[in-house]
Amino acid sequence: MWELFQRLFEKAVWFLKLYVIEYRYLVAFLACFVFLYILFMHWLNIRFFRILREPVAIICLVVEIVAIAYFTIFFREQGESHTYELELFWSYKKWILEGSVAFGLEILNNIVLFFPFGFILTDALRRCPFWAVLLSSLAVSGCIEMSQLVFRLGLFEFDDIFNNVLGAVAGWCVFHILRSFKRRRRPESSSVYSG
């Protein structure tokens, strides 16, 4: 059992390293963007950002949507025909059953790309319920996929929409996890300072 776990861990590390090498510009942008966002909007708690919290979050959300459009539409070359794949989870079959690493990287890329969207949308709208992130990410991803189909800029597929929504939902979850940690720390820090 331990040997199987060790093999899976090594393969996961190898896969993540390959992903970072393959998509280094996207990973660098998203890592810096999310880190700086969390740093300025939550950890430093600068008075200026507290006053303009919602407008700054909305501006960051717009930047994230523009980045998504750039990485999925604007840098692609136009193809000769409209291409689509309507079978759900076909890319997962290619990755898991046929061992195609390229499809695995694409799946992970589509999830990672929408992670900041879910995180920042939740912060920008303050009381952003799960269904709002679900529908918003579904709408944005659907628009991107339709644009790719109409303008022949890539493959329209339901798997991409699923992966994008999954990434946004992961961002929503992480936002709430971090917020719950922040709330738990507040009473402890106030009791430390009061004594």
Best CA proximity match to 117, nearest among 167, 174, 69: 167
- Per-residue confidence (pLDDT) for residue 49, from 0 to 100: 57
Token pair 């990973």 in the structure block, residue: 27
Best CA proximity match to 118, nearest among 76, 178, 71: 178
Best CA proximity match to 15, nearest among 91, 92, 95: 95
- Per-residue confidence (pLDDT) for residue 195, from 0 to 100: 37
CA–CA dist 111, 169 (Å, integer): 9
Q: Tokens for 103?
A: 């499809």
CA–CA dist 164, 71 (Å, integer): 13
- Per-residue confidence (pLDDT) for residue 44, from 0 to 100: 61
CA–CA dist 141, 69 (Å, integer): 10
Three-state DSSP class for 128?
Answer: coil
- Per-residue confidence (pLDDT) for residue 50, from 0 to 100: 63
For every one of its 195 residues, what pLDDT tens digit does the chain have, with 9 covering 90 and above?
Answer: 777 778 878 888 888 888 889 888 888 888 888 888 877 776 665 555 567 777 778 888 898 899 888 888 877 777 788 888 889 999 999 988 898 899 999 999 999 999 999 988 888 887 788 999 999 999 999 999 999 989 888 889 999 999 999 999 999 999 888 888 777 765 544 443 333
Q: Tokens for 25?
A: 């510009």
- Residue 101's alpha-carbon distances to 20, 91, 120, 134, 165, in angstroms, are 13, 10, 30, 28, 22
CA–CA dist 31, 139 (Å, integer): 24
Spatial contact of 168 and 137, defined as CB atoms under 8 Å apart:
yes
- Per-residue confidence (pLDDT) for residue 194, from 0 to 100: 38
Spatial contact of 33 and 67, defined as CB atoms under 8 Å apart:
yes
Q: Is 88 left (phi over 0), alpha (psi -120 to 50) or beta?
A: beta
Residue type, 158: F
Q: Which residues are 155's β-sheet partners?
A: 83
